[in-house]
Amino acid sequence: MPCQGKSCGGGPGYKSPLDAMKNGPKEKILYVPCIQPEGVKATKPDYLATIDVDPKSPTYCQVIHRLHMPVAGDELHHSGWNVCSSCHDDPNLKRDHLVLPGFGSDRIYFVDVSNPTAPKHDMIVEPEEMHKFGVSTPHTAHCLPSGHVMMSTLGDTKGEGLGEFVLIDAKTAKVSGLWTKGKQAKFGYDFWYQPYFDVMLSSEWGAPRCFMNGHEEQYIYNKDTYGRSVNVFSWSEHRLLQTIDLGEEGVAPLEIRFLHNPLKPIAFVGCAVNANVFRITRKEDGTWFAENAIDVPAKKVEGWAGSEMQGMITDILISLDDRFLYFSNFLHGDVRQYDISDPFNPRLTGQVFLGGSIYKGGPVKVIEDKELKEQPEFTHIKGRPLHGSPQMLQLSLDGKRLYVSSALFSPYDRQFYPEHIKNGSFIVQLDVDVENGGMKINPDFLVDFGLEPEGPVLAHEMRYPGGDCTSDIWLDNGDKQ
């Protein structure tokens, strides 16, 4: 897409995905929201932790700053930026605010990170500002070239499902209205836009009232309470054009990722409940279709709530060169790497277990497994047992380091991994073989959130100050203009 406006370049981020991969700096700090184990019922506030990940630093793997929220009970979850690489052609903009929504409180914080190692509070969108537009439960934030932050929302003010998007002025944090014109999506969760094809895709979890207390079977296969579709919007017209039903294999499609090259109309979405990754592609007539690209087989087990245990895919990401796709299996406990150089034939190239529910000697016995010959060993790093399971993922710009955090959502953490709640979560690092594929644990890297000064906390999504594989959307593929 040609560069538009007064200037080409000079703005925030990187001009293309490959530019970010080749020329971006090695990350030195991580931002991660730390949630109190009691979630929305907590009496202590959540906080944003700044973590030193520079191996040359004396405070390596330590929390070097904590920005506490002004009130308790936010259940911080995901985050985004005031501006990103889609604004690379505007030298007047700076990526200096992290947008941090409270998934449980409907409050949205604009955190000033102009001093990267000491974030501070700046602007706050109070819940009433969202509620007056009839929406709640904010999740994904992406910046727009227009100067707005676009935030997906999952429900109405009564906790019923509603897939909408609020527009927030990135400079003033004022909510200017809803993005969708006409028919709204039934459910919401994540989204990704590609202006070159005039498309935005959004995913679905369910009605907030049906998951806020945990994973409840009575709601999961009910089409009125849990989503199973990908929604296709016209980016220019803000209109819902198509809803693709993924069926029972696609219940709770969560993180959705386009290939980073904006000229390739291919996306992937991880579906939690039955552990599948669907590929979404564009037909010649301009409509979109989905097909199951990766299926993680259920394991037959004893000592579990049922006779089968699905993997529960809770996060996916794609490397900036569009070569590798990664995802986490929250119940089985593994992180996987697939080579998607040919996106129509994904190939498993790496698998690492980090806790989970099927480790050898644990309460669950696997009696039939289509993938493994034996149950994995329980994982320790630097002597610390990894209670809990891999959840959120973040990849270094060069693709060589994969960071893995263990907290999903406090009601789910409490339900599936009570020892995780008791001992606090962790962040570990996997070294990635970018030439041949494959991953292995870095034995020297561990951030232990069980050792926090005010008690154990749950660390969720990770960001770098300059942008990363999941927060940046590009309008340029790097070809010479």
Q: pLDDT tens, 212-259?
A: 999 999 999 999 999 999 999 999 999 999 999 999 999 999 999 999
Task: Judge contact between 29 and 407, C-beta under 8 A.
Answer: no
Q: pTM for this one?
A: 0.96
**Model confidence at 146, in pLDDT bands (50, 70, 90)?**
confident
How do residues 48-65 score in pLDDT, each as one tens digit? 999 999 999 999 999 999
| Measured CA distances, 414 to 213, 214, 251, 273 (Å) | 10, 8, 22, 18
Each domain of the chain, given as residue ranges in start order, spans 158-459
Contacts of 456 by beta carbon, 8 Å cutoff, 6+ apart: 37, 421, 422, 423, 424, 425, 449, 450
**Model confidence at 2, in pLDDT bands (50, 70, 90)?**
very low
**Model confidence at 481, in pLDDT bands (50, 70, 90)?**
very low
Q: Is the pLDDT of residue 6 over 70?
A: no
Q: What pLDDT does 1 receive?
A: 33
Region 158-459: CATH code: 2.130.10
Mean pLDDT of 350-376: 97
For 212, half-sphere exposure in the C-beta direction (CA atoms, 13 angstrom radius) is 21
Quote the CA–CA distance of 205 and 114 in Å, as a whole number.
Answer: 34
Q: What pLDDT does 86 receive?
A: 85
| Measured CA distances, 60 to 217, 297, 314, 406, 466 (Å) | 42, 38, 28, 19, 19
Token readout for 238 is 């803000």
**Model confidence at 431, in pLDDT bands (50, 70, 90)?**
very high
Instruction: Return mean pLDDT, the chain.
Output: 95
Q: What pLDDT does 7 receive?
A: 37
Of 194, 198, 201, 90, the closest CA to residue 477 belongs to 194
Of 143, 150, 180, 149, the closest CA to residue 163 belongs to 180
How do residues 70-107 score in pLDDT, each as one tens digit? 999 999 999 999 998 888 888 888 999 999 999 999 99
Rg of the chain taking only CA atoms, in angstroms: 21
CA torsion sign, 349 to 353 to 357 to 361? positive
| Residue % of the chain over a pLDDT of 90 | 92
Of 401, 472, 410, the closest CA to residue 44 belongs to 410
